[in-house]
């Protein structure tokens, strides 16, 4: 491809690019992923795009890529023409959003109003439109209401684009003291003193001084609060401030509570708010006095987290009776979850109450979950699984696959544009029936886009039963080869990949974990060195073979270090330091109880999820599964057990 000349003249560059992009569309077959990636790269650099690409179904996104290079200088006529040409398509709406931001930078207020679409819900863009409206003299009572709705929509920071309309509303007098107090109270509930100070800035005199003192208390509780007016607002702010302190320093919050509660006249809900946080952060760290502080919280202040922690705290002390009582106090929807019916059965079992234990375990065993599988093991029953399969209707599948939005979504995903692909995917799903949506998930999997089963199934309860969609088998040969090399169970490796990345080789976490098995580059380099293999750099982790090889080797190292797979799974997620602490705190504890008492929620649920997934992958690989109770202990040569759908 040749580079467009005269790069010193951006307007000429843009005109030439758009000329190259404006070739009449043909009915050519979609170009391959490499062709579309190349077109994107050329458009982004201002180079000529091959003429044959104009017939590609995702060509609008190529044109968008060229346009966005110079949005600050783009003539409005070209922007309008683009949005009209692709009206009703996701690319037009994505362009509109970026165009509005560019117009805001250009301070083109009339242009913003002309480009605005009422369907836009993004808060920053809504504030841009409100700003434009008032600058054009169109601020009215409705404008005041819309600004007030955004102002009171959250107690957390709002986008910078909202500063201008908030300032204008202040000048107009429509951001009233009542609205300022409302936002301040919302911010206090979010433990956000910075937002509280921002809200207080528009108050005057004694009100502002009090509001700023409220913010100071939420940031760091002080004794001036003892002299605050005895109002519901003072009590709310004081209780939120002490609750925040309870998370950071439970002992300090407990010490301050009596005097402040008496001075301001706390009611049970305000006292309970503080006691809840004191108890939660005491027990979540397994600190002394956990049971005492849990008992001090009024039952009305309990939420699901505190109910669960009361169970865990009792389990750590082998107090089965208290743990069972805590489960029985849970609200029905929580208590009837397979996790807690299983643990109710376990507590009855440990108390020697065999019949009650069997009743609870039988209920849990009806669910295809980690705790349902554990219950089935204890009862000696098959695992509950009632799989559903999609109907084999080639015509319907073809119709779904050939929807323009679906064609564009698959092309964009294949060209490494997952965000744009998702916009097209969501546009397609808006028009699909439930049956078509499920077929769309299968079509996506045909193209290697496996996480659509996670994000797009579940709207109907029975959709969890589409196991072949929800648990794809991909890179099977690689998984089996590395499993043999490291003497690990291939179902475990597949379960790790499903939990880590849902088989997306381009996955990247905020912690910079990359690839199928979400290996951090430093870890990958160290493992490669220990294996005596060359290290290809962080980018190599996006290669499926590299990720599976290094991730499986690291998993084997964790198993060798900790001896037991369920502990190795915890270490793979949380790292060695917390895992060592959990082992030292509860040595010799039964595996199911040890997993449930892991203090990190993410790791606790991760271990259960991987173990459950490994059972399902064993079913997919062999039609039967090593019992999860054996699997947790590393005994993968145990006889497999069958699956059956409960009557």
Q: How confident is the model at residue 5 (pLDDT cuts 50, 70, 90)?
A: very low
Positive or negative torsion for Cα 205, 206, 211, 217: positive
**Mean pLDDT of the residues in the chain:** 93
pLDDT in tens, 292-335: 999 999 999 999 999 999 999 999 999 999 999 999 999 999 99
Rg, the chain, Cα only:
29
Nearest to 301 by CA among 259, 260, 337, 267: 267
Q: What is the pLDDT of residue 471?
A: 96
**How much is the average pLDDT of 167-193?**
98
| End-to-end CA gap in the chain | 64
Q: What is the pLDDT of residue 33?
A: 83
Residue whose token pair is 């009611």: 267
130: tokens are 């409100």
Residue whose token pair is 């209920």: 363
C-beta of residue 175 within 8 angstroms of C-beta of residue 205: no
**How much is the average pLDDT of 210-237?**
98
**How much is the average pLDDT of 209-219?**
98
Does position 141 have pLDDT exceeding 90, yes or no? yes
Distance CA 335, CA 327 (A): 6
Residue whose token pair is 């409220």: 214
433: tokens are 């029936």
> Mutual orientation of helices 232-248 and 250-264 as an angle, nearest 10°?
170
Cα 448 to chain centroid distance, Å, stands at: 21
**Max CA distance (Å), the chain:** 86
214: tokens are 């409220």
Pairing verdict, β 643-644 and 383-384: parallel
Pick 10-148's CATH classification: 2.60.40.10, 3.30.1330.60, 1.25.40.80, 1.25.20.10. Answer: 1.25.20.10
Q: What is the pLDDT of residue 32?
A: 59
Distance CA 324, CA 321 (A): 5
Q: How confident is the model at residue 382 (pLDDT cuts 50, 70, 90)?
A: very high
Does position 7 have pLDDT exceeding 80, yes or no? no
Nearest to 257 by CA among 187, 266, 220: 266
Residue whose token pair is 């207020």: 109
Between 8 and 124, residue with greater pLDDT: 124
C-beta of residue 642 within 8 angstroms of C-beta of residue 631: no
Distance CA 479, CA 23 (A): 46
Nearest to 213 by CA among 96, 167, 575, 221: 221
Distance CA 449, CA 427 (A): 16
Q: What is the pLDDT of residue 647?
A: 85
174: tokens are 């429509």
pLDDT in tens, 456-500: 998 898 999 999 999 999 999 999 999 999 999 999 999 999 999
Distance CA 98, CA 105 (A): 11
Query: What are the residues facing 643 on neighbouring strands?
Result: 383
**How much is the average pLDDT of 522-527?**
97
Nearest to 274 by CA among 308, 251, 240, 249: 240
Q: Where are the domains of the chain?
A: 10-148, 394-465, 476-644
Distance CA 289, CA 283 (A): 8
Q: What is the pLDDT of residue 24?
A: 31
Percent of the chain with pLDDT over 70: 95
Percent of the chain with pLDDT over 90: 94
Q: Specify whether domain 476-644 bears CATH 1.10.3720.10.
A: no
């Amino acid at each position: 491809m040749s580079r467009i000349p005269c790069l010193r003249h951006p307007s000429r560059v843009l005109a030439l690019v758009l000329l190259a992009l404006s070739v009449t569309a043909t009915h050519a077959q979609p170009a391959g992923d490499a062709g579309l990636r190349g077109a994107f790269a050329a458009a982004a650099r201002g180079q000529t795009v091959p003429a044959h690409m104009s017939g590609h179904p995702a060509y609008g996104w190529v044109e968008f890529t060229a346009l966005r290079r110079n949005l600050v200088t783009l003539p409005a006529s070209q922007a309008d023409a683009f949005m009209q040409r692709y009206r009703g398509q996701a690319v037009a709406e994505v362009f509109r959003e970026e165009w509005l931001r560019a117009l805001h930078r250009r301070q083109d207020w009339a242009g913003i109003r002309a480009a605005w679409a009422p369907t836009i819900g993004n808060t920053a863009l809504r504030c841009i439109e409100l700003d434009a409206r008032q600058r054009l003299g169109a601020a009215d009572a409705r404008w005041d209401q819309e600004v007030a709705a955004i102002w009171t929509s959250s107690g957390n920071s709002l986008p910078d684009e909202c500063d201008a309309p908030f300032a204008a509303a202040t000048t107009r007098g429509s951001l009233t003291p009542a609205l300022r107090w409302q936002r301040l109270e919302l911010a206090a509930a979010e433990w956000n003193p910075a937002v509280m100070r921002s809200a207080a800035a528009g108050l005057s005199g004694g009100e502002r001084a009090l509001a700023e003192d409220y913010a100071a208390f939420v940031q760091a509780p002080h004794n001036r609060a003892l002299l605050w007016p005895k109002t519901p607002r003072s009590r709310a702010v004081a209780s939120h401030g002490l609750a925040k302190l309870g998370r950071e320093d439970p002992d300090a919050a407990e010490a301050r509570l009596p005097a402040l509660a008496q001075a301001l006249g706390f009611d049970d809900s305000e006292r309970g708010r503080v006691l809840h946080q004191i108890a939660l952060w005491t027990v979540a760290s397994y600190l002394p006095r956990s049971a005492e502080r849990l008992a001090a919280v009024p039952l009305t202040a309990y939420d699901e987290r505190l109910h669960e922690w009361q169970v865990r705290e009792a389990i750590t002390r082998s107090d089965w009776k208290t743990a069972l009582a805590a489960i029985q106090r849970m609200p029905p929807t929580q208590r009837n979850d397979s996790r807690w019916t299983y643990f109710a059965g376990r507590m009855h079992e440990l108390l020697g109450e065999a019949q009650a234990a069997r009743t609870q375990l039988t209920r849990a065993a009806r669910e295809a979950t980690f705790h349902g599988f554990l219950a089935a093991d204890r009862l000696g029953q098959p695992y509950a699984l009632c799989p559903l399969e999609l109907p084999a209707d080639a015509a319907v599948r073809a119709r779904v696959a050939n929807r323009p939005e679906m064609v564009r979504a698959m092309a964009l995903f294949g060209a490494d544009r997952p965000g744009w692909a998702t916009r097209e995917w969501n546009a397609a799903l808006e028009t699909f029936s439930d049956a078509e949506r499920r077929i769309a998930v299968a079509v996506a999997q045909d193209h290697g886009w496996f996480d659509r089963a996670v994000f797009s199934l579940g709207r109907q309860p029975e959709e969890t039963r589409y196991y072949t969609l929800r648990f794809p088998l991909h890179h099977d040969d690689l998984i089996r080869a590395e499993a043999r090399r490291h003497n690990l169970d291939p179902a475990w490796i597949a379960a790790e990949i499903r939990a880590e990345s849902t088989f997306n080789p381009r996955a990247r976490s905020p912690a910079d974990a990359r690839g199928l098995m979400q290996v951090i580059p430093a870890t990958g380099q160290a493992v490669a060195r220990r294996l005596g293999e060359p290290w290809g750099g962080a980018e190599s982790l996006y290669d499926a073979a590299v990720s599976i090889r290094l991730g499986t080797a690291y998993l084997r190292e964790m198993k060798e270090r900790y001896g037991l797979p369920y502990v190795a799974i915890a270490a793979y997620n949380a790292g060695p330091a917390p895992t060592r602490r959990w082992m030292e705190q509860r040595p010799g504890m039964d595996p199911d109880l040890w997993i449930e008492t892991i203090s990190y929620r993410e790791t606790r649920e991760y271990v259960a999820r991987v173990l459950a997934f490994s059972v399902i992958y064993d079913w997919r690989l062999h039609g039967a599964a090593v019992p999860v109770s054996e699997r947790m202990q590393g005994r993968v040569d145990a006889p497999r057990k069958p699956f059956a759908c409960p009557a």
